[in-house]
Amino acid sequence: MTVPNARVLASLDPSNTPEEIADISGKWSTMFFGDDTPEAMSNRYACPKTHHHATGHCAKCLKGCFGKGRVDVHLKQH
C-alpha cells in the first residue's frame, strides 16, 4: 500500500541471522541497532538523531527513516 506520509522499516540487530538479513536485503528499508563498528555501519545512513543528538531531526529528515526511497539506517547504541 502506498501512502505518502507512512514508512515501514524492518528492525534489525546483531541477533538476526545472515539468512534473515539476506531475505529482506534490497526489498525493505531497514534500521539497525546494536553494533557501532565500522563494518556494521558500512553502507548505512547514520541517523543524526542518535549519532549526533540532533534534537527534532526526525521532523525534517529526508534521507533516513522518512526518505522517499529504500534506505538502510544505522541507529547508534548509547
The pLDDT value given to residue 77:
79
Domain boundaries defined on the chain = 9-75
Give 39-54 pLDDT, tens digit per residue. Answer: 999 999 999 999 999 9
The pLDDT value given to residue 1:
59
Average pLDDT of the residues in 26-34: 93
- Residue 30: helix, strand or coil by DSSP? strand
Taking alpha carbons only, the member of 29, 23, 26 closest to residue 71 is 29
